[in-house]
Amino acid sequence: MFATLSDRLTSTFKNLRTKGRLSEADIDATVREIRRALLDADVAVPVVRQFTGAIRERALSAEVSQALNPAQQVVKIVNEELVSILGGQTRTLNLAKNPPTVILLAGLQGAGKTTLAGKLALHLKGQGHTPILVAADLQRPNAVTQLQVVGERAGVPVFAPHPGNQGADDVLPQGADPVAVARQGVETATARQHDVVIVDTAGRLGIDAELMRQAADIRDATNPDEVLFVIDAMIGQDAVTTAQAFLDGVGFTGVVLSKLDGDARGGAALSVASVTGRPILYASTGEKLTDFEVFHPDRMAGRILDMGDVLTLIEQAERAFDQDQAEKMAGKLAAGEDFTLADFLEQMQQLKKMGSMKKMLGMMPGMGQMREALENFDEREVDRIEAIVRSMTPGERDNPKIINGSRRARIARGSGTTPTDVNQLLERFDGAQKMMKQMARNGGGMPGFGNLPGMGKKARGRVAAPSKRVKGKSGNPAKRAEQEKAALEGRPAAAAQQGSAFGLGAPKAPADFDPSQLPSGLDRFLGGR
């Protein structure tokens, strides 16, 4: 969503890096480019004025003029101000001291409230809560049925005493009372000991008094701990007007951005928190129920400025990867065993649990410079690789070297690919296998960087080898000769064998010690050549 804005800002900062000192004219030109980029991204004009004014004021201060690298200092200022307009700090849900915690979802029709209710329920369920969904949207056709389907997919119960509107018109059925349904839902959650209640309310195609009155009545009847305003991140400038109207008419405690994976300009996300003064709590980033994440202003600012979002990537990996399998793989590599195609298949399956490869790669720093290649990446390539590996026998996965021409043809037919695709996979796997072996030899470090002081072959300085000269030689010629002879033979002198001045004997080497077990390259730290 922020691709265009990110590219514009990155291009602006790239021009600054060529300058050793920044004049006032340079700063004005930079602020002007940032202003244009934000306005093109559909950010609200008052937010743009506040944002660029703060940047210009700080950029002309001593923190930039006296900096060793003024360009980096300007980027730092833009990053901090961007975090500020996105809400400053991350805020989580305010849970009730006495359960259940009641969460009311409000917003326009089509913003994605119903789907987001299921995503939020699944997210809370993963944190150990026991949520229940309440179908209080009785006006939109088949809204109750949709919530029931979403709840079933999320594995969360749905309280739906009324079927809602089953026709084609957006009209509240006769006898339907959304306020009573919401109230009964909270009572049912209390009786069944659910600790979180998520109430899905009706939306409209525009702002009207009836919508506000109904939402306010449900709020008064349920006394929610959180009122979350769900806003479509693709609606642009109108997002600010809609948010302000809901704030005045109903009042909300937080914002949830939906459809953040769209290709719109994304000005709503940069405007709503600053204009309403309410923090953004969550963001919906896709169609799947798992495409849902906590909104971190600092991480989102990093994505916009092409600094990446490695922390979110790590959190997703921690949720997706099996800890036991990871430890098993680490132990296998430490023991010097080969990395096989069976292991590779397990890693691929764990990687698929993290979601879209494009999204994961997009969280890496600097990926904005490879945006075209990233957009052209085919997600189905992962499935093709998995199909090739699954078409192999267990023996072929453990020892790919036995795969000859006839085996390649059979694997290609079984996976629906060509022998060329099989060859390319085997070549890439051979390179990966060599890298894994080198990492195992380095004690888990990256190739070329040892895990010893000096970081392997690329170290600038070498550790001085210990001198063979014996320190503290005795003045007695007989004892001195004995010391030199002991040093040459590699055994302790007689005095050391008898014990030190503190009464401690010389340490003994373990009987099962094998010098070959030392890490490779250690000899140069011990004086070897």
Mean pLDDT by 10 residues, the chain (529 residues): 72 73 82 85 83 86 68 82 84 88 87 90 92 90 91 93 79 82 92 92 73 85 91 76 82 86 67 84 86 85 70 65 64 66 77 69 63 67 86 88 90 90 87 72 48 38 42 61 66 44 41 50 46
Amino acid at 87: G
Beta strands in 43-111 (DSSP E): 101-106
Give which of 372, 354, 371 is closest to 362, Cα–Cα: 371
Reading the block at residue 162, the tokens are 């009324």
Annotated binding site for GTP: 107-114, 200-204, 258-261
Residue 55 pLDDT: 87
Q: What one-character DSSP code corresponds to residue 60?
A: T
- Provide the CA 132 distance to its chain's centre, in angstroms: 27
- Provide the CA 438 distance to its chain's centre, in angstroms: 28
Specify whether the CB–CB gap between 159 and 140 falls below 8 A: no
Residue 76 pLDDT: 84
Report the run of H or E that residue 200 belongs to, with start and end: strand 196-200
Find all residues with CB under 8 Å of 376, minimum gap 6, and list them.
none
Residue 82 pLDDT: 85
Find all residues with CB under 8 Å of 50, minimum gap 6, and list them.
85, 274
Domains, the chain, ordered by start: 3-85 (1.20.120.140), 101-305 (3.40.50.300), 315-434 (1.10.260.30)
Annotated binding site: 107-114, 200-204, 258-261
- Distance separating alpha carbons of residues 98 and 336, to the nearest angstrom: 54
Give which of 182, 184, 197 is closest to 96, Cα–Cα: 197
Find all residues with CB under 8 Å of 87, minimum gap 6, and list them.
273, 279, 280, 295, 297
Find all residues with CB under 8 Å of 101, minimum gap 6, and list them.
93, 94, 95, 195, 196, 197, 225, 226
- Distance separating alpha carbons of residues 78 and 302, to the nearest angstrom: 11
Cis peptide before 297 (omega within 30 of 0): no
Find all residues with CB under 8 Å of 477, minimum gap 6, and list them.
none
Which three-class secondary structure state does DSSP give residue 133?
strand
Give which of 415, 351, 419 is closest to 385, Cα–Cα: 415
Find all residues with CB under 8 Å of 219, minimum gap 6, and list them.
104, 227, 250, 251
* Cβ neighbours of 15 (radius 10 Å): 13
